[in-house]
Amino acid sequence: MEGKVKGQQPLLTPYKMGKFHLSHRVVLAPLTRQRSWNNVPQPHAILYYSQRATKGGLLITEATGVSDTAQGYAHTPGIWTKEQVEAWKPIVDAVHAKGSVFICQLWHVGRVSNRGFQPNGQAPISSTDKALTPQIRSNGFDVAEFSAPRRLRTDEIPQVVNDFRLAARNAMEAGFDGVEIHGAHGYLPDQFMKDQVNDRTDKYGGSLENRCRFPLELVEAVVNEIGADKVGIRLSPFGHHGQAGDSNPAGLGLYMVESLNKYSLLYCHMIEPRIRAAGELCECPHSLAPIRKAFNGTFIAAGGYVQEDGNNAVAEDRADLVAFGRWFLANPDLPKRFAVNAPLNKYNRETFYSPELVIGYTDYPFLEDVSYEP
């Protein structure tokens, strides 16, 4: 394993990801925080992201909308307007000033939306016209209502692909080091890939190859726009988020990574099979190992990881990098805490998505702020 030093935690060893020299393998996972008023990133995000930045670290932004039809949640950021691009710039600059690599996650929710989030109150777009049933929000009590989506016509799909391409160009303009296409968690690309959702009869539906056509067109367009060395993708073939499951998730995951190999992407970011839906850990017979083995490139694993199994995943070559969400949210100095085996701050789920600009956002204490005896 590259850079491994005897006795050193595998998560804290260096790694070369494409042209980027990472000093450790603890990645900030993309985390929706819903604090971007009118879909414009706000100055308070400068502190939030820079707190979690380290020299040679890798940070991935919260999911960031590619167009005005991409929205499905209040106060999530976008990157389709000049105002949004300008608002991201000081955030990116602050992360770079700390020496971190910063990736922008590009997002389209598809049918995980309602008319209230859509331009002119129109129906959300999707691969299908099948509606989602109401769901309890991630905070555990709010109920999300979804409008019946409108099935995209075959001739409309290139426009959505173009939205991702332009968003990637905008991310470069904002100063990001690259982009991650959000192909996971029941959002638009997943709505094409998963056979429980995709009921199309055109070239984007039916066979596995057809269902994967749209996400692969996204990859190709973004790669052609900004270069493969700046493009990653996130996938959750085993997930059931947004009522998007598949009858053969292992086959789907393998087909996707084998198809992605020809592009020589910066990385593939994959959700562990044990995560079926948000916050739902399950016993699962499946493993990412065959998919990891089939992918030629940097492999990031995510989903329910803690320090011990993150170290094991790297030591056993099941992943090159490990993304941490809730624990990195609550511990802005997570790599340092891992290094000295310090106790971790507990996260407060009630403030994950609240509009508070400090509480539950930038007020989690650093190690030097708490009394700690190693």
Query: For residues 196-222, b (16+ Cβ closer than 10 Å) or e, as one string?
Result: ebbebeeebbeebebbbbbbbbbbbbb
Give CA–CA dist 339/371, Å, rounded. Answer: 17
Query: For residues 96-108, b (16+ Cβ closer than 10 Å) or e, as one string?
Result: bebebbbbbbbbb
Give CA–CA dist 58/105, Å, rounded. Answer: 13
Question: 3-class DSSP state for residue 22?
Answer: strand
- Residue type, position 286, single letter: H
Dihedral-angle region of residue 118 (phi above 0 means left; psi in -120 to 50 means alpha; beta otherwise): beta
Any catalytic annotation for residue 364? no
Counts for the chain of helices (H) and strands (E), in that order: 11, 17
Q: Virtual CA dihedral for 198, 107, 168, 272, nearest 10 degrees?
A: -80
Of 33, 139, 133, 50, the closest CA to residue 333 belongs to 50
Of 26, 34, 33, the closest CA to residue 55 belongs to 26
Indicate which residue of 187, 255, 267, 353 is catalytic.
Answer: 187
Q: Which residue's entry shows tokens 């990412």?
A: 288
Give CA–CA dist 355/36, Å, rounded. Answer: 9
The token pair at 346 is 């507990």
Active site residues: 187
